[in-house]
Structure 1
Amino acid sequence: MHYRRLGKTGFDVSEIALGTWQVGGKWGAPFDDALAESILDAAIDRGVNFIDTADVYGDQMSEAAVGRVVRRRSEKVYVATKCGRRIRPHVDEGYTVAALRGFVEASLANSGLETLDLIQLHCPPPATYYRPEIFGLFDDLKAEGKVQNLGVSVEKVEEALKAIEYPNVTTIQIIFNLFRQRPAGLFFREAQARDIGVIVRVPLASGLLTGKFGKETTFAEGDHRHFNRDGAGFDKGETFAGIPYDVGLQAVNELQDVFPGETNLAQAALRWILDHPAVSTVIPGASRVEQIDSNLSASERAPLSEEQRAKIDAIYAARVKPLVHQLW
């Protein structure tokens, strides 16, 4: 395992980490505590020392499973969770100092941890980024020992750029993958200049970039890949990186020609992300232990060649960029 510094947190974290949105089973399926713990243990056994969760994943069950496993392990494992998405309706007016303090205290109780290594605002509404009192709350929580660092999970590059204007924001979690390349421009430059840790989520475009999906693939009713393609549940950019499914399949077919003989594109897609030095860690999910090994193998893979990167850029420019680049 290779480790990178997570910006001004000072944490050295595994460059491939673990996201736990679906750690207790497939999206839309009942949460399975035993499965979740087996996946978490497998990741830590293999050197993963950064785990990302949220209070809304599995209706708090993912966060609780992370806490149980981390508390009984001897290794130092950094836990990042998120708050804000339990606000209903999810609007700026719901973001109050009292509500967010309550969410942090609930996460501490749910996880059983004494302090949260990283608490992240969970894709707040655009107006919330312009309210200093919301960001200032986390200085108070840090002084109280309840949190160690503040980060923000964002939907858009513009939101990331606004968030890092606050001195106490140490990390940004953002979608970045072969189908969502815009963060590699201005945002990555500013992040490096300000020593911001960059956490990459949705690195495989909801599994589309594995190359294992086709026109006949179906998804369960409770799976966001079934109901959220047009943003019915939340920002549609979280599902297949925001591109139409059929366009994604066409682009994946062309990407497979860049990596002939590879039946699973996941390692190449993750390696492409790791080839960007601004990235601190990537948090692919896993719904079974074998996916942990598949994801971690990208860390040992050689960087992509200039020829491969040029072909990827051409596919992105022709197929994907006109549809997503300026939206997020």
Structure 2
Amino acid sequence: MNHRTLGNVGAVSEVGYGAWQIGGDWGDVSESEAVAAVEDARDAGIDFFDTADVYGDGRSERILGETLAADIAADEVTVATKAGRRLDPHVADGYDETTLRRFVDRSRENLGMETLDLLQLHCPPTDVYYRPETFDALATLADEGRIANYGVSVERVEEGLKALAYPGVETVQIVFNPLRQRPAELFLDEAAARDVGVICRVPLASGLLTGALSRGDAFPENDHRNYNREGDAFDVGETFAGVPYEVGLDAVDALADRADAVGDDPTRASGDGVSLAQFALRWILDHDAVSAVIPGSTTPEHVRSNAAASGVPSLSATDRAVVREVYDEHVREHVHQRW
């Protein structure tokens, strides 16, 4: 597993583990499945875990805290969490010091951490980025030792660019994958110029970029891929990266052909070939400004395969051109100017 620098947070595994799935919104996941997935991630060399206080109303944080307790105590893993989405209503005025301190203290308890490694604002309303007092509050929480570092998780490129203007922001988390390419136009360069870490979420577009989904698939009622396709529960960009499902499947079919070609090239791929998911993760990691990519899964072989993307050689110029062509032909009109 290769490591990269994540702002002032330190070195983290470039393939991390996104722990939304073990909290909720992805169908039923038992606690034993969740624990096994986290253990599989550690066995695969992953030492960076990303969660949030609303994933299962704290379930994800608690499972990570209990499963990784020894590693947390030995400072062998980095755990990032997020706060803010528990606000009801979810409005900019709620992002004040008192409320953030309360949320942070709850996460500290859930994770069993005296000081959180990284606290991220959880996709707050855009107005929050124009409220310096919110970022002053985060600095205060850092001074108090409740958090070691802070950053933001954003929906839109413009929010990420605005966040970079605050000197205390060490990381920005953003949706970035072959079906959501806009961050590569400006944001990644700006983040790199400021030494701000970039965490890429939804890297496999809610499973689209695994190649395992099909037109006839039905998702459980408690799976966001069922109930949030139109953005009824939260930003639709979090579900299939905002790409209409059928459109995404067409794009994936085109990308899968290229991934197969990479797998057949003995000069650049392992003997077992390269899966579409590994191809997508490698495409993200080939952007030097990226600090970590955080796929999530509860299937042991998927966790190991995702981690193995760290060892896949960089894609060729031809590979990258194909990804761009697929994006332009199938996806751009649906997502590019929206996020």
Q: What's the TM-score bracket when you normalise by the shorter of the two chains?
A: over 0.9
Moved more, 128-137 or 31-40: 31-40
Residues 173, 201 of structure 1: 8 Å contact kept: yes
Aligned-pair distance for 1:24? 5.5
Aligned-pair distance for 1:257? 1.8
Residue-by-residue CA offset, 1:2-53 (whole Å, 9 max, x unaligned): 00011233x1100001000012677132x52222222112212222111001
SS in 1 for 2:152: strand
Residues 255, 315 of structure 1: 8 Å contact kept: yes
Structure 2 alignment gaps of length 5 or more: 264-273
Are positions 1:326 and 2:325 aligned together?
A: no
Are positions 1:104 and 2:115 aligned together?
A: no
SS in 1 for 2:260: coil
**Alpha-carbon distance between aligned partners in 1 of 2:38 and 2:223, rounded to the nearest angstrom:** 22
| Residues 1-328 of structure 1: pairs in structure 2 closer than 5 A | 1-9=1-9, 11-23=10-22, 27-29=26-28, 31-73=29-71, 74=74, 76-260=76-260, 264-328=275-339
* Matched AA of 1:14: S
Moved more, 38-47 or 201-210: 38-47
Residue-by-residue CA offset, 1:160-214 (whole Å, 9 max, x unaligned): 0011111110000000000000001110111011000000000000000111111
SS in 2 for 1:206: helix
Residues 25, 35 of structure 1: 8 Å contact kept: no
Aligned-pair distance for 1:290? 1.7
Aligned-pair distance for 1:67? 1.1
SS in 2 for 1:260: helix
Residues 55, 82 of structure 1: 8 Å contact kept: yes
Residues 120, 153 of structure 2: 8 Å contact kept: yes
**Alpha-carbon distance between aligned partners in 1 of 2:238 and 2:216, rounded to the nearest angstrom:** 21
Residues 108, 115 of structure 1: 8 Å contact kept: yes
SS in 1 for 2:206: coil
**Alpha-carbon distance between aligned partners in 2 of 1:37 and 1:246, rounded to the nearest angstrom:** 33
**TM-score normalised by structure 2 residue count:** 0.93
**Alpha-carbon distance between aligned partners in 2 of 1:311 and 1:133, rounded to the nearest angstrom:** 45
Aligned-pair distance for 1:286? 1.1
**Alpha-carbon distance between aligned partners in 1 of 2:230 and 2:93, rounded to the nearest angstrom:** 25
Counterparts in 2 of 1:25 and 1:155: CA distance versus 1, 3 Å: closer
Structure 1 alignment gaps of length 5 or more: none
* Matched AA of 1:20: A
Residues 26, 287 of structure 1: 8 Å contact kept: no
Residues 157, 187 of structure 2: 8 Å contact kept: yes
* Matched AA of 2:234: F
**Alpha-carbon distance between aligned partners in 2 of 1:269 and 1:280, rounded to the nearest angstrom:** 16
**Alpha-carbon distance between aligned partners in 1 of 2:235 and 2:25, rounded to the nearest angstrom:** 20
Structure 1 consecutive aligned stretches of length 4 or more whose deviation exceeds 6 Å: none
SS in 2 for 1:8: coil
**Alpha-carbon distance between aligned partners in 1 of 2:200 and 2:51, rounded to the nearest angstrom:** 13
Counterparts in 2 of 1:88 and 1:28: CA distance versus 1, 3 Å: farther
Moved more, 314-323 or 199-208: 314-323
Residue-by-residue CA offset, 1:236-284 (whole Å, 9 max, x unaligned): 0000111111100111111122123769410100010010000000000
Q: Report % sequence identity.
A: 53
Q: How many residues align?
A: 326
SS in 2 for 1:38: helix
Indicate the residue corresponding to 2:267 in structure 1: none
**TM-score normalised by structure 1 residue count:** 0.96
